[in-house]
Chain A
Amino acid sequence: MSSTFAPPEALTKVPFHYCPGCTHGIIHRLVGEAIDRLSIRERTIGVASVGCSVLAYNYFNVDMQQAAHGRAPAVATGIKRVLPDRVVFTYQGDGDLASIGLAELVHAAARGERITVIFVNNANYGMTGGQMAPTTLLGQITTTTPSGRAVKEAGYPLRVVEMLATLEGPVYLARVSVHDPANVIRARRAIIKAFEVQLQDLGFALVEVLSICPTNWGKKPVEALSWLKEHMLPVFPLGEFRAVS
């Protein structure tokens, strides 16, 4: 029996374009598995954002809309309000969600939109070649913080889940990571829950997934995984910040 390794039906057979070792692929798979597990593929509409995952519409085997940079939560709101019995999710990077699209995100969360947001935090702008993101760590070198992110010029990293946890609209908020198998299993559970609360019509759900960008971090994938563990976990603690009892 090797059914655990069969690709989820909710993913197409199109090969990913992601760099070798990039964890976007794992996160896609977890989302696909959650959709399969809940048997919602034929009533799910996904919203792809702008970033390395812009081509997500090629990979998720569901109806998809591609949104402008940062606007996925507004697009998802439009879909969900028209089709309240469908399942709507967005898949967004940290530049997309936490920088240009922060207003759309926060207001969708505050309204308690019944959508599921998958937020991939890789501490930089992957697609445009490794610039600073709002989630870039202090001291982290990026192409636009060549001597490391300094507080005086660039301020502090944004903790999105903690910020959203001050609102009443979200019903499920979690931060997970995919740097080792045990965490991948936890991430899978969190993503399933984030869809379940939508199926129960409870409110807004977001899962932040810490992810690596070996290409722009200038690290081999294995080194990148340990860098995530060592440097990102202290700034971005894992756990459920809001969950339904």
Chain B
Amino acid sequence: MSAREYRTVSSAQGSLLVVRQAPAVAFGDQVLIRDHRNQLRHGQVIRCSEAEALIQVFEGTGDLDLENTWVRFLDQPLEINLAPEILGRIFNGLGKPKDNRPPILSNVRRNVNGSAINPAARTYPREFIQTGISSIDGLNSLVRGQKLPIFSASGLPHNRLAAQIVRQARLVDEESSFSVVFAAMGVSYADARFFQEEFADSGVLGNVVMYINLADDPPVERLALPRVALTAAEYLAFDLDRHVLVVLTDMTNYAEALREVATAKGDVPSRKGYPGYLYSDLAELYERSGRIKDRHGSVTLVPVVTMPSDDITHPIPDLTGYITEGQIVLSRELHNQGVYPPVFISPSLSRLMKDGIGKGDTREDHPRVANQLYALYAKALETRNLAAIIGAEELSERDRRYLRFAEAFDSQFIGQGEDEDRSIIETLNLAWELLSMFPKDMLTRVSETDLARYHRSDK
């Protein structure tokens, strides 16, 4: 670490600082900035030439005066210390303690940017995780090592759902529970508090590490936070052999911080002012989940994305959907009808479900049951639309059956208690109760064996 301080700051704007006559600093290096009050700020070199270095300051450049600013180049990238003791602790976006307890001492130091997992080192995620939530387990199953975001919108209960997942998630035939990395970017104090209490009440606090950047904390720090948190997750999973569940909330705040910095740097904007590299930047984060050959642990990612103006085609949910392995979409309509969790299954998807369910994993009929429910629900929604136009009384008896099905499906299958932890078998049995509203001949997505075994008409 160089002790030399440079007092050659030539400009400061937004979160960016230019230092002239800097030594040959390395791209990506950490920087310490001392202001006129002797306060320290942290920064990172984001462009460097022989003549000057451009620095992104996590705390922003507000209140700096160019004359009285001293810059020290630390000669190292952003790294954090890791040890098993991180569990139970709270840190900020740069990995510094936020709980008035001492910093982590360790000789394990990791660069938070990580580097890409070699695809040849991965193994395909296939172990079913039971969340106890029917709309997820039955129809959009989560598997160990998957990245499955919750697409939500302001005012919808994504936090409660995320907390319920964290509380209930387990492997069907394994006792081991998940370690949790909780990464909050730009969340309100109340939301952060909610999660803290949730973890405390369910007695898992000792198995949780939290990285928190509140709404009034410096926005640029949000860019470092998920990287720091995922570095910790990788350590827990691949050094300590744990199964790790990472909750990232709210990725929309992260992307907004990225846009802010990109605009200041003059990067060419693409859609809605977000930089063209938003996709790659998000992918660098999301792709850190997964399973690795010959490693016991895993990193499962559940990011929360609130869709600006409920718009799923907005660049943030859109690019997220292009990277993640599916999405759980919450609906305002269901929420307003009092359905919890308001999971709208049509646009929801789990791409890794196929290898994690069925015979040997959940139950043999599971894939076909999910398929059949989806097909019926799609038809039922069509019928609902029709009923809205021409009136339900105009419908045929056959069509009215679809309406009754949709109603029962929303209230009994999708809807469940916040503390209700349904086993996958309970979920599938419930599914058959609903399927049995239809005669066997109409259920062509399930097999004849399934019908003989599970259809209620004979029982």
> Is B a genuine binding partner of A?
no
Binding site for A on B (CB under 8 A): none
